[in-house]
Amino acid sequence: MERKTYKIDVSDRSPGRVATEVVNLLRGKNKPDFVYNEDKGSFVEIENIKNLKFTGKKLDQKKYYKYSGYPGGLKEKVMGDVFKENPGEVLKKAVYKMLPKNKLRKEMIKRLSFKS
């Protein structure tokens, strides 16, 4: 099977809209021989990730949670801080949550890469 590489420029685009487009390419839903139980997706390269457009107060109000499993182990980060540290992480989290929750998800997310 031959996998194509798609390059997407995300300047002035919303992260949710970009994430849905990326998920369809990673899953292979744009191909005529798409099957749910096979991983026939393509590689996706994201360009100009620092120029994403956020609407409203998402950078200040949206939070990402992480739980260690221990009492008092719930940690949270604001989206703005995550975007400053690593802009690609915001889009990667959105794409990861949109992918199907099965054994193919880890392999699909590996084909997503970012270029500055």
The number of folded domains in the chain is 1
What is the CATH number for 43?
A: 3.90.1180.10
Whole-angstrom Cα distance, residue 14 to residue 44?
A: 17
pLDDT at 1: 81
Closest CA to 28 of 38, 14, 18: 38
51: containing domain: 5-55+86-115
Query: Which neighbouring-strand residues pair with 26?
Result: none
Please determine, for residue 116, whether its predicted confidence score (pLDDT) is greater than 80.
Answer: no
> Half-sphere exposure of residue 20, counting CA atoms within 13 Å on the CB side?
4
Please determine, for residue 93, whether its predicted confidence score (pLDDT) is greater than 80.
Answer: yes
Asked, for residue 65, whether it belongs to a domain, the answer is no
Asked, for residue 68, whether it belongs to a domain, the answer is no
Asked, for residue 110, whether it belongs to a domain, the answer is yes
Longest CA–CA separation in the chain, Å: 49
CA dihedral 25, 27, 28, 30 (to 10 degrees): -60
Tell me the backbone φ, ψ of residue 3, rounded to 5 degrees: -105, 130
Residues 7-65: pLDDT tens digits?
A: 999 999 999 999 999 999 999 999 999 999 999 999 999 999 999 999 999 999 999 99
Asked, for residue 78, whether it belongs to a domain, the answer is no
Asked, for residue 16, whether it belongs to a domain, the answer is yes
Tell me the pTM. Answer: 0.92
